[in-house]
Structure formats: C-alpha cells, structure tokens
Amino acid sequence: MLDRTKDISATAQAWLDEFERTFGNPEQTALERLFVAECFWRDVLALSWNLQTTAGRDAVTQALTALAPKAAPSNFKIAPNRAAPRWVMRAGTSTVEAIFNFETALGRGSGIVRLVPDAADGDRLEAWTLLTALDELKGFEEQLGTTRPRGQAYSRDFRGPNWLDLRKASRDYSDRDPAVLVVGGGQAGLAIAARLKQLKVDTLIVDRGTRIGDNWRKRYHALTLHNQVQVNHLPYMPFPPNWPTYIPKDKLANWFEAYVEAMELNFWTGTEFESGAYDDAEGRWTVTLRRGDGSRRTMHPRHVVMATGVSGIANMPDIPSLGNFKGTLLHSSRYEDGESWQGKRAIVIGTGNSGHDIAQDLHSSGADVTLVQRSPTLVTNIEPSAQLAYAAYNEGTLEDNDLIAASMPTPLARKTHVMLTEQSKELDKELLEGLRRVGFKLDFGEAGTGWQFKYLTRGGGYYFNVGCSNLIVEGAITLRQFSDIEGFVADGAQLKDGTRIAADLIVLSTGYKPQEYLVRKLFGDGIADRVGPVWGFGDGLELRNMYARTKQPGLWFIAGSLAQCRINSKYLGLQIKAIEEGILEREVGSA
C-alpha cells in the first residue's frame, strides 16, 4: 500500500500501521525497511524517558528494538484536528509530513513522521525523520477544558475558607515546603511553574526582583523583543490578538504579573537564592533563601529548577588599563536610559544586540557614541531576514508549529539555518557591503549556520539590525576595533595611532558567563563538576543539561526564548511529575 496509493493520509497511516506491526516482529530487517539510510529519530520521553536524537538507520532501528518492549507503543493514528498529512519542504528536501498520536504503557503522545520516496524501490515511502514525544501521563492528565476544576470546594461552602484565603495560604508556605523550587521568575520560571501547577506539583518561584517582571522591566529603556509576537506565547495563556508585533519590554513585564495572578502561581519577589546542598539519602535539598527584609528561610524541596537564563553572571573582561578610566563604567545589564547622557561622550564595547541597541539609544538621546568591536559579529536585518526562521508560525496552529519545531533533529536544523543564512545574506546585501566598507568585521556563524546556532551554542554574538547598523554605515556612530586601542586613560581610550577617544561613559556589552559559573557559586564545586557544561551541544545532538535530568539528582535547568521555554517546559514538567509519582527514577540514565 505504501507505494500504490496516491492518498497522502492513507499512505502515512499505512506507514504507521506497518511501523506498529514491526514491534512484534523479531526480525530487525522488517523495521529497517521502513527507514532511509540517513534517518533521524528524536524521542522526547515517550520511549526512552530522555530527550535524545539517534541518527542513521542501524542506530535508529537498534534503539527502537531495544526500547519498544518496555514502553509498549501502540495505537499509532493520524492525529485528528491537527494539520493533515501534506507535502512540505524541510531542510531543502521535499517530504510527506504527518502528525500522529500514539500511546505507551505509561502515557499518551504525539509525533511527526516525514516520509520520502525511495527511487531504487519504486518510490516506496520511507521515514526520513521521526519524532515521538510524550504529551501526558495516564492517570495524571491536566485538568483543562471540560475536565477543568469546578471550584465547588470554595464557592459552595460558606463557612470555609474562600478562594482568596486558599491562595494566600498557598503562597505563604508557612506550614510546608514546596516540592519544587524554581529560581528565576522570567519566561523560563513562569513556564515550568505553570506546567507543574497543572500537574498538581507544589511549586514556588523565587526571584530577587522587587516586582514580577523586573527581569525585563529593569532592562534598558528602549528594549523590545526582536522576534515576533506570534512566536512568543506562554503556556495556556496566549497574548491577545491585538498586541504589537514586537512586544515592548515593559508590556511583557506587566503581562508576567498578570500571568502569575491568572495562573495562580506561587511567587516570592525580593528573594535571593543563596545556596543549596543535596542529601542523597533523603532525596531532597537544603536551600537558603534571603528575603527582602533581610530574614532567611531554609527550605527542603525535592527539586530545584534553575530558570535564570542562558547565562548567569555578567562577564566583566580583564582589561588591565580599564581601571584608569575615571568616568562612569557600566556593564550593559546595568544600563537603563540614554537621556541622562545627552551631549556627553560614550564608548560602547561589544557588538551584539545589547551593544548595538545601547549605542543607538545613546545616539538617539544626543550622545556622541563610539562603538568598539571586539570580534566578528553576525548582522541581519530584523525584517525580513531575522524572522525567516519563524516563518512557520505565520500559519497553522501554535500547537502544530511547536511540535514541528520539536521534531527537527539538530543536523537538519543546522542545514536549514545554513540555507536561511544564505537567503539573509542576499536580502541584506546592501547593508552588509556598507558595513564592510567602514571596517565592520562580519561573520555568519560556525559553518554558516547563522544567528540561531550562535544563540544555541554561545547565547549571543549577533545583532538584529533595527537601525544601528545604518547609523554606523552613515558615520553617525563611530566604529572602532578593540585591537586598535592601546589602553584606557582617565578620560577615555588611547589608540595605537596616537589619537584619543574621549568618553564620559563606557558601557561593557560583553555578555555573560556560562550558567555553570552560577552553579558553582550557588552549589559548590562538587555539584558543578558533576553537572558539567550547561547549554550548547558539545559532541551531542541535544542541548547539554537542558530540560532533562542531570547527573545531579533533583537539579534541573530551563532557559531560552519564550518559544523554547513554552515547548520544553511541558517535557520538563512531565519528568518531575513522573519522579514525584514514582514512575521515573531520579537518577539520570534510569528509566
């Protein structure tokens, strides 16, 4: 049937039927026949209880054969009410893409199979990529829609505590500790807390900001998000349809406050996480929190989720002569507004998004600005080039697009972004040529993989042009190379050619240290060494120590864009719930 029917849905379902039948066939060749040689299988918890990508037909079929007996996957069906199977172009390849549902012994899941014709076998369709992702645990389904709570417990008992009384008691933690402590109240912390709330796992968010949303609100005055609104929703509660395409940072911060209230999340502001130690025998942490009034609270959560962002501590580079400067010196994380620098002179060191935006903000406020480049930087216009990666989100449902995003194995995502980068270079040709003329050093990511993989490997190193590059080309903002600086003096920077850049302000837009530095500070060398690097790929095909169990039981990491946090919080939440219910072992590598 796979090579005879012209009905795409029937073809995809026939492949799924054959795929399911092979699990009962001891002959591995029956499974091998369903996959192309250079195939990929990404499993997100469904069969392996890990986030893992397997490449190559032999490895894929061996892994499926090993994992299927215990997971017992079954009932593979084309998903109703989702995008119908269709021909699409992915990573330069024309393929049939089909979304399906299935079950395992423990849960229900969804996935995507991409089928391509085998010209050597009469164009019989074989799997090029396969995603199997866990959506819910049987017996622990989220109470949503028609299964939502009725609220009778507090709306019909006139003598008992009402809803507000219960909310206050839940937030106060006066008589209990949370099962999960989330450190950081940005999009990562809110997303995982919302997921855990729906799974009935007692969760507290702590953040040192004095107000929910301060992690965005306290950033520089002119900041807006650089990707578009349709990509950036939080779980369960999408942004209103009349919101601007690019969300201003204060608008987003205020939404975070509303989100916490609407989703009934427990959140302590003005609270610093000072330290944590893990008791292996007890399977819980001892953590110290410092409240805004100076008091301390010791808690014993079973899980700590670090939701402090891709990077932790501000990177202050060791520039020996910088101490000579007598003006104002700021890291970009402490920069707020350019208005107070009107008529003054400023040097901004660093040419990522923050460096460019701060330089433009200072220029717009009437400052004389010099932007100093330390290393080659990827530059792409915010429209349309920077948005090419999100084109799928302009059509279809958010649920489908999130699953499509989760389904792309890293090697094919790299290939896709090489293609998008080449397209961007052509679209931005005039701008890039202008930058080269004035001496700006450009790069396009490792092996031409573009800005997305710069973000996934190092958390920065690129700029979405919203006008600063044009100001540099025009000479309205002066460009200098860091290698041209002899050293810093009391009133600015001394160049090697004998000239001087006078400055009242120097802003270091020099990024942040990797998150493992923060782990070492908060948890000590032993845990930091056990966990290892956080973020980036290393030698693997999944982000290191993100959204999954780590080598330190009870320590989890979530970070990234709103979209990444929305997608992956679901899977992180399911793992924590499974551990809480005794379904999953807390040790990494155990199932």
| Domain shared by 499 and 542, yes or no | no
- Give the pLDDT of residue 4: 42
* pLDDT tens sequence across 386-427: 999 998 898 899 999 999 999 999 999 999 999 999 999 999
159 belongs to a structural domain: no
Residues 267 and 349 both lie in one domain: no
Mean pLDDT of 515-530: 94
Q: How confident is the model at residue 1 (pLDDT cuts 50, 70, 90)?
A: very low
568 and 453 co-located in one domain: no
Number of compact structural domains in the chain: 3
Please tell me which residue, 148 or 229, carries the higher pLDDT value.
229
Mark 541-577 as b/e (b = at least 16 C-beta within 10 Å).
bbbbbbbbbbebbbbbbbbbbbbbbbbbbbbbbbbbb
Q: What is the pLDDT of residues 452-493, one digit of tens each?
A: 999 999 888 999 999 999 999 999 999 999 999 999 999 999
Q: Of 79, 106, 137, which one is at a domain's C-terminal end? A: 137
Q: DSSP string of 45-62? A: BTTTSSEEEEESHHHHHH
Taking the whole predicted model, whether its pTM rises above 0.75 is answered as yes
pLDDT tens figures, 288-324: 999 988 899 999 999 999 999 876 688 889 998 999 9
**Residue 142 belongs to some domain of the structure:** no
Cβ neighbours of 441 (radius 10 Å): 15
Q: Is residue 3 predicted with pLDDT exceeding 50?
A: no
User: Residues 505-533: what's their mean pLDDT?
Assistant: 94
Query: Are both 221 and 237 inside the same structural domain?
Result: yes
Using the CB atoms, write b or e for 378-410: b if 16+ within 10 Å.
Answer: bbbbbeebbbbbbeebeeeeeebbbbbbbbbbb
The predicted pLDDT at position 312 comes to 66
Candidates 101, 45, 112, 99; CA nearest to 408 is 112
Looking at residue 35, what DSSP letter applies? E
pLDDT tier for residue 541 given thresholds of 50, 70 and 90: very high
- CATH number of domain containing 77: 3.10.450.50
Segment holding 348, helix H or strand E: strand 345-349
CA angle 20, 25, 31 (to 5 degrees): 65
Q: Which domain holds residue 354?
A: 316-510
Higher pLDDT, 3 or 199: 199
Cβ atoms 357, 220 nearer than 8 A: yes
Which domain-ending residue is among 510, 539, 554? 510
Copy the structure tokens of residue 491: 């009133």
Query: Count of H helices and E strands in the chain?
Result: 17, 27
Q: How crowded is residue 119: how many other Cβ atoms within 10 Å of its Cβ? A: 8
Q: Is 586 contained in some domain?
A: no
Same domain, 58 and 110: yes
Question: How far apart are alpha carbons 340 and 319 in whole angstroms?
Answer: 26
**Same structural domain, 337 and 412:** yes
Asked whether residue 589 is assigned to any structural domain, the reply reads no
Q: Taking the mean position of all CA atoms in its chain, how far away is CA 470?
A: 30
Clarify whether residues 431 and 519 are in a common domain: no
pLDDT for res 287: 98
- Is there a domain that residue 1 lies in? no
Cα 316 to Cα 325: distance, rounded to the nearest angstrom: 15
Whole-number average pLDDT of the chain:
93
Q: What is the CATH number of the domain that holds 245?
A: 3.50.50.60
Q: Which residues is 464 bridged to in the sheet? A: 380
DSSP 3-state of 432: helix
Three-point CA angle 212, 216, 221, nearest 5°:
130
Do 370 and 506 belong to one domain? yes
Quote the percentage of the chain above a pLDDT of 70: 97
Q: Quick one: average pLDDT of 256-278?
A: 97
34-37-38 Cα angle (round to 5) = 115
Lowest mean pLDDT among 462-466, 476-480, 537-541, 551-555: 537-541
pLDDT tier at 28, thresholds 50, 70, 90: confident
Q: Which two tokens stand for residue 417?
A: 């972004």
356 located within any domain: yes
Residue with tokens 């795409």: 8
Q: Is residue 588 part of a domain?
A: no
Helices (H), 33-186: 57-71, 152-155, 163-172
Domain boundary pick from 137, 158, 191:
137
Q: Are residues 302 and 367 both part of a single domain?
A: no
- Please state which of the ranges 133-137, 160-164, 544-548, 564-568 shows the lowest mean pLDDT: 160-164
Backbone CA torsion sign across 258, 261, 262, 266: positive
- What DSSP state is assigned to residue 423? H
In a domain, 144, yes or no: no
Q: Please tell me whether residues 278 and 417 are part of one structural domain.
A: no
Whether 338 and 434 map to the same domain: the answer is yes
CA 518 to chain CA centroid, Å, is 18
324 & 338 share domain: yes
State the pLDDT confidence band at 120, using cuts at 50, 70 and 90. Answer: confident
